[in-house]
Amino acid sequence: MAVASHPSAETEGPAAFFRAQQAAFAATLGAHAATADLLDRIWMQAFSSYEHNVAEQAKDLPPLACRKGCGTCCAIQVAATAPEVMMVARYMRSMAQGFRKVGIDLAARLAATPAAEPGTSGTMALGRECPFVVDGICVIYPVRPLACRGHVSFDADACIAALEGEADDVPVSESHRTVRALVQGALQSALRDAGRPWALYDLVEALRLALARPDSEAAFAAGEDFLAGAVISHVTAAEMARTFDALKA
C-alpha cells in the first residue's frame, strides 16, 4: 500500500504544515472513502508523517531518557483519535490468542483498568496503570497512539518524581509534542470535514466500547460515533473546531 508524501514541518512552519497535513488527510478520506483499506491508509499516513517529521525536528536535540523497559509516563491519560482506537482494537483482537499463550490476557487487563478521574488529563500522577504495559514493556508498541509516540523526556528521574507527585515540571521534547499535536489535529480536522467521528477519546474507555462492537470498523466507516461515551471533554468540540478553522484559514 503506497503511503502519501509528507509535508515538512521543518520547512513550512506550524500553520502551513497543519494546512498541508489536513489537505493530505482530506485527499485520502475523499479518494478512499468507500474502500476496505481506508482505516489502514489513514493510520499509516498519520504515523509515517509523524515519524518522518519528528526525525527532522529532533535531529539536534539532546539524547532522550526514554528506553525499553521504562513505563514511567504510562500513567498519563492517552487521548486518541478514532482511527488510532480502531487500530489498537484490531491489534488486540488479532493478537489475543498469542498473548494468552504467554499469560497475558489483554481483554482482562483492559476490563480491570479504572476510569480516569475528572480533571486528571495529561498528568503524571493519574494513578492509572496502562493495561498494555507488562513488566515495563508496551505490548501494543507497533500500534501505540500518537500521544504515546509524542511524549518523550530528557530526564528519567524527573518523570519518576512527577509520577510520585513530587514534581510538576518534566523536561519533555517540545519538538515531539508539537509535531504530534499538529498531525493529530490535522487528522481530526479532516475527519470532521468528511463527516466522520473526529473527537479525542480516552484510549482505555474507547477501546472498551470498540471491542464491544464486532462491527466497530464498519461503524466508523459509516460515520457512526459509537465512541462518544469516551470523549475527552477538557477541550470542547466547539473550541477545537474554532482552532482548526483558524489554522485552515
**What DSSP letter does each residue of 38-64 carry, written as one string?**
HHHHHHHHHHHHHHHHHHHHTTTSPPP
**Of the spans 50-64, 118-132, 169-183, which averages the highest pLDDT?**
169-183
What does the pLDDT average to over 225-241?
91
Q: Has residue 6 been placed in a domain?
A: no
What does the pLDDT average to over 79-108?
95
Reported as a single tens digit per residue, the pLDDT across 107-163 is 999 999 887 765 455 444 455 688 999 988 889 989 999 988 877 665 655 555 666
Q: How high is the pLDDT of residue 30?
A: 94
Question: What is the tally of structural domains in the chain?
Answer: 1
Q: Has residue 209 been placed in a domain?
A: yes
- Residues in a beta bridge with 153: 172
What does the pLDDT average to over 83-106?
95
Q: Distance of alpha carbon 55 from its chain centroid, rounded?
A: 18
Which residues have CB under 8 Å from 68's CB, separation 6+?
136, 137
What pLDDT band is residue 69 in, cutting at 50, 70 and 90? low
112, 149 Cβ separation under 8 angstroms: no
232, 200 Cβ separation under 8 angstroms: yes
- Cell readout for 158 is 524527573
The torsion angles phi and psi of 5, rounded to 5 degrees, stand at -65, 155
Q: Has residue 99 been placed in a domain?
A: yes
What percent of the chain has pLDDT above 70? 74
Q: How high is the pLDDT of residue 123?
A: 46
Distances (CA, A) of 88 to 85, 105, 210, 234: 5, 15, 10, 23
Rounded CA-CA distance 78/124 in Å is 11
Q: Has residue 4 been placed in a domain?
A: no
Q: How high is the pLDDT of residue 161?
A: 60
The 3-state DSSP class for residue 202 equals strand
Q: How high is the pLDDT of residue 4?
A: 46
Q: Has residue 95 been placed in a domain?
A: yes
Q: Has residue 5 been placed in a domain?
A: no
Which residues have CB under 8 Å from 177's CB, separation 6+?
150, 151
Q: Which domain holds residue 73?
A: 12-248
Mean pLDDT over the full length of the chain: 83
The 3-state DSSP class for residue 234 equals coil
Rounded CA-CA distance 59/73 in Å is 23
Q: Over 80: is that where the pLDDT of 197 sits? A: yes
- Residues in a beta bridge with 202: 79
Distances (CA, A) of 147 to 35, 104, 163, 184, 195: 27, 24, 17, 9, 23
What pLDDT band is residue 68 in, cutting at 50, 70 and 90? low
**Pairing label, strands 133-134, 201-202:** unpaired
Q: Has residue 163 been placed in a domain?
A: yes
Q: How high is the pLDDT of residue 42?
A: 95
Q: How high is the pLDDT of residue 195?
A: 92
Q: Has residue 183 been placed in a domain?
A: yes
Reported as a single tens digit per residue, the pLDDT across 2-43 is 444 455 555 568 899 999 999 999 999 999 998 889 999 999
**What is the DSSP-derived secondary structure letter of residue 74?**
G
Rounded CA-CA distance 190/188 in Å is 6
